[in-house]
Structure 1
Amino acid sequence: MTENTNGSGGNVGLAFIVGGLLVVVAVLAWFMFGRGGAIDNTSDINVEVELPEVSAPAVPGSN
């Protein structure tokens, strides 16, 4: 009597990993290409910031 044993258990794990990677790539491709890519925001945003002048305190003994 001959017993055939093959190590196909590792292949199942590898198949799940490859399948998971394919799902991730498909989701990323849908977000990048299926929805029109990056949002084209051509709004003109002009922000002006004015801060009050801050001076350092006087050093003691420098008179």
Structure 2
Amino acid sequence: MADNTNSGGGNAGLAFIVGGIVVVLAIIAYFVFARGGMEPEAKSVDVDVNLPEVSAPAVPGN
């Protein structure tokens, strides 16, 4: 019988594909969680709400 000496040779391409996917996911995770290294903008929110006075209608007297 002939011995199979080519074990594992066919998986080299698959290893490069999986390695590439891992690298791409690591880069995406960096930009998502670190926000691309950019500093967040300081925003000042000042809301002033002025509503007119609302009164109930007069009840007719008996």
TM-score, structure 2 normalization: 0.47
Larger gyration radius, structure 1 or structure 2: 2
TM-score, structure 1 normalization: 0.46
